[in-house]
């Protein structure tokens, strides 16, 4: 929408409250494309861990999205999403969510089935053939995590190539052994001593796995999964958070640990 001459003049003078009218219909189209995957088609979220946006004040929503876009508000998932929104997108999305009636609606995203499911399955050969390449302590959760890569990912990293289809990366999440003071026990290598396997997280890619994922979330052909200790899919999985978090890593094969994998395999 183009501003009128009067509106342009008033905006130039810096008078408040005269921003261009937002387009709620355009906002709905953007919400359907991306936001609904987590926040629901009408702003009623798909998870107890994700806030409802329906009925929030327009200015509040705009301010939060702007802060997430410029990084002054920190949230890895939303920083990645908001950075892809234009000023008009932000105004339109805020207008749409503000126009909704809140918790009386239970609409869910048409994309949710594509994000709640994954094409991945637990690799039958694991851990045979996989290379352990990294370990991280997580003090806040008293966990230690072990990172593994299959031969396809290892070969690509060794040759300095982008990680291709056929790659499979696994993370074992272990509760740390605790001492009498409930503090993690540190091993001689500087990492927590593992006590009990809690679950697995994983990412893998194959041809066509990204085709049903919206562009703003798509990580080429990568899919993500969480597995129980029984090697079954953990219920309630929504790939949207994983996809958004990895989205900015397009220059590093969408991996947070590509440098560690490359260093480990080249040292062998």
H-state helical runs in the chain: 5-13, 24-30, 36-39, 58-70, 76-82, 87-98, 112-116, 151-159, 239-246, 258-267
> pLDDT tens digit string along 242-255?
888 898 899 999 99
Does residue 5 carry a pLDDT above 50?
no
Q: 175 near 196, Cβ under 8 Å?
A: yes
Q: 179 near 185, Cβ under 8 Å?
A: yes
Q: Of 2-11, 32-41, 88-97, 234-243, where does the model show the most confidence? A: 88-97
Q: 241 near 249, Cβ under 8 Å?
A: no
Query: What's the pLDDT at 205?
Result: 98
Contacts of 198 (CB under 8 A, 6+ apart): 143, 173, 174, 175, 229
Query: What's the pLDDT at 214?
Result: 83
pTM for the structure as a whole: 0.72
Domains for the chain: give ranges and CATH numbers: 19-110 (1.10.760.10), 131-267 (3.50.70.20)
Averaged pLDDT for residues 159-173: 97
Does residue 21 carry a pLDDT above 80?
no
Q: Which of 233, 135, 148 is nearest to 186 (CA)?
A: 135
Range from 18-32, 44-58, 142-156, 217-231 carrying the lowest mean pLDDT: 18-32
C-alpha to C-alpha distance for 12 and 17, rounded to whole angstroms: 13
C-alpha to C-alpha distance for 225 and 216, rounded to whole angstroms: 19
CB-count exposure of residue 35 (10 Å: 0-12, 13-18, 19+):
buried
Percentage of the chain lying above the pLDDT 70 cut: 86
Query: What's the pLDDT at 3?
Result: 43
Structure tokens at 171: 């993370």
């Amino acid at each position: 929408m183009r501003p009128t001459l009067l509106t342009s003049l008033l905006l130039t003078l810096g008078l408040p409250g005269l921003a261009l009218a937002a387009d709620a219909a355009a906002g709905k189209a953007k919400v359907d494309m991306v936001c609904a995957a987590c926040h629901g088609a009408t702003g009623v979220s798909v998870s107890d861990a994700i806030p409802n946006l329906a009925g929030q004040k327009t200015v509040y929503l705009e301010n939060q999205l702007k802060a997430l876009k410029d990084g002054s508000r920190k949230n890895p998932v939303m920083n990645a999403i908001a950075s892809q929104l234009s000023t008009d997108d932000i105004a339109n999305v805020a207008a749409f969510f503000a126009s909704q009636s809140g918790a009386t609606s239970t609409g869910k995203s048409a994309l949710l089935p594509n994000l709640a499911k994954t094409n991945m399955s637990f690799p039958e050969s694991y851990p045979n053939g996989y290379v352990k390449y990294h370990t991280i302590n997580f003090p806040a959760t008293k966990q230690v995590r072990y990172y593994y890569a299959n031969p396809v990912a290892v070969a690509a990293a060794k040759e300095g190539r982008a990680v291709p289809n056929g790659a499979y990366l696994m993370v074992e999440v272990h509760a740390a052994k605790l001492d009498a003071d409930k503090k993690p026990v540190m091993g001689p290598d500087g990492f927590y001593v593992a006590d009990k396997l809690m679950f697995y997280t994983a990412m893998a890619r194959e041809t066509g796995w990204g085709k049903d994922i919206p562009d703003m979330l798509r990580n080429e052909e990568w899919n993500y999964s969480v597995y129980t200790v029984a090697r079954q899919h953990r219920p309630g999985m929504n790939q949207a958070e994983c996809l958004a978090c990895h989205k900015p890593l397009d220059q590093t094969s969408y991996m947070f640990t590509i440098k560690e994998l490359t260093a480990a395999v080249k040292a062998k």
